[in-house]
Amino acid sequence: MDSKDFAAFITDLVNESPLNRAPEIGLVIYSNPLVGIASAHDPLFTRLKEPEIVGSHYLTPTEWLPEAETVISYFLPYSPEVRQANYNGDLPAREWLYGRVEGEAFNDAVRRMLVAEVQSKGGLALAPLHDARYKTVKKRSNWSERHTAYISGLGTFGLGKSLITELGCAGRFGSVVVNWKIEPTPRTYTGVYDNCTMCGECIPRCPVGAITVNGKDIWTCSRYLDEIKVRYAPRYGCGKCQTAVACEYSVPGR
Ligand code: B12
Ligand code: SF4
Ligand code: SF4
């Protein structure tokens, strides 16, 4: 399987799985995905152990799976319905709350199905997010889906910290590590923030002022999400900084 085969596999799941739907509110959660491929031996993975990038607790692909050769990273862009519902007001739209919670359940299913597909063809595969060693220390996980996507050629970070892909930033990422050698996706950027124009549109979108010209304060964002969790349990989310902004649907200026 190559990157096109993996994209077709995930596209089928997006179009056919009932988990990509919230029938009680008539919602399709995601549109068709993007897939990027990285070599498990890309030196950038080891650099993520540096304290200013992720930290020493970060585990590289071969630490997750000693036989690892490749990392498959994908972006599931939210459907226009999820995005547009979140345009108005300071509180998250019902569609966004479903996108966060039911949407991550679908993302978990995609990770599991990818692992099963590779294993059914005799390969080895592992989704770090489903491994017993997966943990988050001070809001930094030992496997970062966005850094994986960056290394896999899917896009770069933005001022508000979202990863901006060719299909924008409003959506979710997943990844699996496999023992097959697959041609990596070329990175069309060199800088961590190349896809962000620093237009500042995400700054006033944040209801709690977590984003400034200097970047995002993760603790302010996190406290707000905790409040939202109490109010909308069992769902939560916000994502105002990913909707009604220049990088919502594409890399701005392209
Ligand atoms: C913990 C967490 C949070 C924390 C904050 C995390 C953080 N540190 O930013 C809180 C609770 C605040 C949070 C909030 C949200 N989250 Co969140 N979160 C995570 C989680 C579980 C781990 C993130 C992590 O470990 N980050 C690691 C740190 C180090 O990242 P960082 O600080 O941004 O990295 C910087 C440095 O590395 C620096 N840097 C310095 N030198 C260098 C050199 C190089 C080479 C590189 C690459 C970088 C670099 O650049 C980076 C950007 O500034 C991930 C899932 C996962 N396991 O990946 C989801 C995830 C990041 N969240 C996501 C989402 C959608 C959200 C929310 C919108 C909530 C919602 N769903 O409504 C908000 C806001 C997101 C935003 N704008 O960033 C998505 C991101 C989607 C996207 N397009 O980017 C993720 C990837 C989940 C997923 N499966 O898709 N989240
Ligand atoms: S809205 Fe503008 S400044 Fe904010 S992340 Fe997107 S491109 Fe960057
Ligand atoms: S998710 Fe909401 S609270 Fe967090 S930075 Fe984005 S707009 Fe602000």
- Give residue 114 CA to ligand 3 midpoint distance, Å: 30
224-241 pLDDT tens trace: 999 999 999 999 999 999
Pocket of ligand 1 (CB under 6 A): 44, 52-54, 100, 107, 136, 139-141, 143-147, 150, 157, 160-163, 169, 171-173, 192, 218, 221-222, 225, 237-239, 241-242
Q: Relative to the CA of 238, which ligand 1 atom is closest?
A: 72
Among protein residues, the one with the nearest Cα to ligand 3's atom 1 is: 239
- Give residue 126 CA to ligand 1 midpoint distance, Å: 21
Ligand 3 contact, 113 CB (< 6 A) = no
Pocket of ligand 2 (CB under 6 A): 158-160, 196-202, 245-247, 252
3-state helix, strand, coil in the chain (%, to 5): 35, 20, 45
**Which band of pLDDT confidence, cut at 50, 70 and 90, is reported for residue 254?**
confident
CB 55 within 8 A of CB 140: yes
Distance in angstroms (rounded) separating the CA atoms of residues 191 and 195: 9
- Give residue 16 CA to ligand 2 midpoint distance, Å: 33
Distance in angstroms (rounded) separating the CA atoms of residues 253 and 158: 14
pLDDT of residue 194 exceeding 90, the answer is: yes
For residue 217, with 0-12 CB atoms within 10 Å meaning exposed, 13-18 middle and 19 or more buried, which class applies?
middle
State residue 35's pLDDT score: 98
Ligand 3 contact, 221 CB (< 6 A) = yes
State residue 153's pLDDT score: 98
State residue 160's pLDDT score: 96
Section 158-185 average pLDDT: 98
52-98 pLDDT tens trace: 999 999 999 999 999 999 999 999 999 999 999 999 999 999 999 99
Q: Which amino acid is it at 152?
A: S
Tell me the average pLDDT of the chain.
98
**Which band of pLDDT confidence, cut at 50, 70 and 90, is reported for residue 102?**
very high
Closest ligand (CA of 30): 1
4-35 pLDDT tens trace: 999 999 999 999 999 999 999 999 999 999 99
Percentage, residues of the chain above pLDDT 70: 100
CB 240 within 8 A of CB 205: yes
Closest ligand (CA of 206): 3
And the tokens for 105?
């359940």
The DSSP 8-state label assigned to residue 125 in this structure reads E
Q: What pTM did the predictor assign? A: 0.98
